[in-house]
A and B are shown apart, each in its own frame.
Chain A
C-alpha cells in the first residue's frame, strides 16, 4: 500500500473511531440520565421544598425533611422557581439554539414558552402563581465591550401578557426620570397584590433597589446596593445580596423601618434567596467540596447556616396561600 493510500485508510479509521467514541459516550450519558418513573403529584403542598437536583431535574422534598429521597418531576431546567402552584422553568432549546421560559402547573405547560435572550440567571413567580419573571445574561452585547448585560422580563400567565423587558419601563431616581442607555435590570421579586414588585438596576457603576408598578409601568428607586431582592412571605422584609468589599453577602432589610441586618452566612452568595418561612431564608452556594448545594440561615442575623440539601439549586418553598392577610381564600 502506498503512503498516500495508507494515510487515507488511517484517516477514515480514525474518524470512525472518533465518531464511535463521541457518539457512544453521549448515548451512554443519555441512558444513564433516564428519568425515574416517580412523578410528583401535580401540586406541591405548603412546606414543600422545590428545587433542581444535580441533573437539573425539577424535584421536591418536604422542607422539614430535606434529606428525604426526592420525588423527581419530568422537566429539566437551568433555573426554576415555584409559587402558587405555578413553576417557571428556564431551559435550553436546540433549534434555533437558545433559551426559553416554560410555564407549568404541576407538570402541564399552561402557556406557550417565551424565548429569552441569554443565559438564564434568575427566575421568580408571584405568590398567587399568576406573574412570572426571569433575568438572563446577555453576552456579546457590546455597549460595554468585554462586559455583559442582563435583561429581565415579566409574563402574566393568566392573561398571556408579556410585560416587555424592564428596559421599557419608566425609571424614577430621586423623583427624576433616569434614562441612561447602560441601565441593566435583574432579580425581580413579586408582592402578593400581583402588581407591585422589586428589582435591581445597575447603571454607571451604581446599584439601585427599585419598586416596580406593573399597572403604571414605572420603577421607582427606593434604596441602594440591594441585588436580587426576595420578599418575605409576610411582605415586610426583603432578603438580598449586597456587595461588601469584593464579596456578595446576604442581608435582610425591614421595609417599614429601613433597618438592614447582615445574615450569619460568612460565605459569598451569588443567588436570589427564597424564604423558607417568615424567619428563614434558603439559597444555593458551593459547599466545602465545591458542589453547589442549598443552605438555610435565620433571617434575623442570628444563628448559623445549615445545609438544607446537597447537590441542589434553584430553591423555592411552597407557602401557605395568602398568609399575610386573613384567610380570604382557602
Chain B
C-alpha cells in the first residue's frame, strides 16, 4: 500500500499548519515525520487518517482518492499519542472493538473474533493482560494494546502519533526496537510522528523533516544526518556549532576576517556556517581556520567536551577525542573536518 500527498494546505485560523506539502511513501516503508512542535507533522498524519480535512491538496492511499472517504472507510490504523483506549472496556474488548462494529454482513462470528484478538495480543506479547482494564496497565503496555487495537481491522496503512511521547526514557528505548522488529514482521506501510531525532533516526527507514508546515528534507537517516539540506535540518538534527558568517568575494568571513574555508559555489551575503561538534579538529595555535581559548573541559565517556571562546568572541562547544587532554586556559587551533554553509 502506498501513500501519496500532494500540495496539502491547512490553516487553523491565521496559523498555517501545512503550507504545500508533497510526500510519497512506498509500500512497506516505515517513515518518520520529524519536526519541532507546531511544524505540522501531526496535522499531516491526521489528514491522512481522515481525522482532519485539508483546505486544499490531495491524498491518495494505494492510488485511491482518500479525500472521497471518511475516516471510517479508509481502513487506516491510527495510534493516538495518549492511546485513547476505551477505559470501560477490558484489553480484550478494546482490541475486539474494530471487529465488533463492522457491518453485520462482513462481521466475523464470536469465535473468529476471539481467535483474531488472541493472535493480536500474542503479536504484541500481552495475551496475559486480556482481562485487565486500561487503568491497570503501564504506559508501555497501553501503547502496545493501542497498536494491537489499530491492527485488528487489518489496516491498509498504520499511522502513529508520537508513539513513545508519553513514556519514560527506558521504556521508550525498548519499544523503539520492538516497533522496528514488529514492522519487519508485519510489513504494513507505516508513518509515525516524532519530535525526537534519535527516535526517527533509529526506527525509520526514511525520515521526513518538517518545519513551519513545510517539508525541509526527505531522506534516509544517514542522508539527513550527514547531508542536511538546509540550515534548519542541520541545526535540528545532531548537535551543531552554528556561526554567522559572510560570503564575500569568494571568501568566507567571520567578523570581517576571512576564514581558510572554500567558498566555491556559495551565493554572496550573510550565511550560516554549521559544523558538527565532533568534526572540529584540535591542533596547535595558528593551525586551523579558527583559534580560541579553552574555558571549560568536561569528560563524557570517550570524548571531552570543551567550551572554547573564539578569537572573535563567540563561544562554541566541541567534542574532542580524549587522546590529547585539553585544559582550561589552553589556546588551540580548530579546523573543521567537514562543514556546511547555508545562505540566508
Query: Do A and B belong to a common assembly?
Result: no
Please give the residue numbers on chain A whose beta carbons come within 8 Å of chain B beta carbons, in ascending order: none
